[in-house]
Amino acid sequence: MNERKRVTVPADVVEARPPAPGALELVRAFINTRNVERHTDTIDTPDGLTAWLHERGLLDPARRASPEDVVRALEVREVLRTFALRNNGVDCECDARVLNAAAERSGLLLAFDDGGEGTFRPRQPCVDGAIGIILAAVHRAMLDRSWAKLKVCADPTCLWAYYDRSKNGCSRWCNAGLCGNRDKVKRFRERARGAGADSGKSLSNP
């Protein structure tokens, strides 16, 4: 009973967090298409990826994702997850080559509007181009320094992306009351096991 609660509660609680600012919310939503705790993935099929991109106006209604598009999209998503996890102070390998290849496939171009503002836009009107729009949002967030506040929960059983709006910018959990407490329990048990092992050694070696 308790295990079922542990699995089903987080997504509802986490989504109560305020969204990330501007286009960075698109990136957060993209990372969270995979719910690690619920073992679900919104975009791991051509139909799922197509629907997700259509809902956000990132892909022409006449176009559909292919199985190859799905493989590339999932690869980009997981690399973005590692970068956001590193924003949370977790030491992990981030393969920028995946993002560079995705940006190249999208044909990202620098374009200016009449107001003189420049932004990157994809040349390709396909799934690769849609992924390029997400990467352009990442780049913009890096320029305005909001990217560092997009984090992935430090709980390895959660890994939910959230925007850190804490004053000191040191939030580690998507939900302190859930994932934070889970970490405290884990650490307490580890200390208890360690203390038990030390006690056993003392008894065997008077």
> Which residues constitute the domain of residue 107?
2-204
pLDDT for residue 7: 37
**CATH number, domain with residue 142:** 1.10.3300
Nearest CA to 173 out of 9, 12, 17 is that of 17
pLDDT for residue 9: 40
| Per-residue model confidence as pLDDT tens digits over 2-41 | 433 333 344 444 456 789 999 999 999 999 999 999 999 9
Range in 24-33, 90-99, 147-156, 188-197 with the lowest mean pLDDT: 188-197
Angle at 118 between CA 116 and CA 119, to 5 degrees: 150
Rg of the chain over all Cα atoms, to the nearest angstrom: 21
- Structural domains in the chain (count): 1
| Per-residue model confidence as pLDDT tens digits over 36-80 | 999 999 999 999 999 999 999 999 999 999 999 999 999 999 999
Angle at 61 between CA 107 and CA 34, to 5 degrees: 75
| Region 171-185 average pLDDT | 77
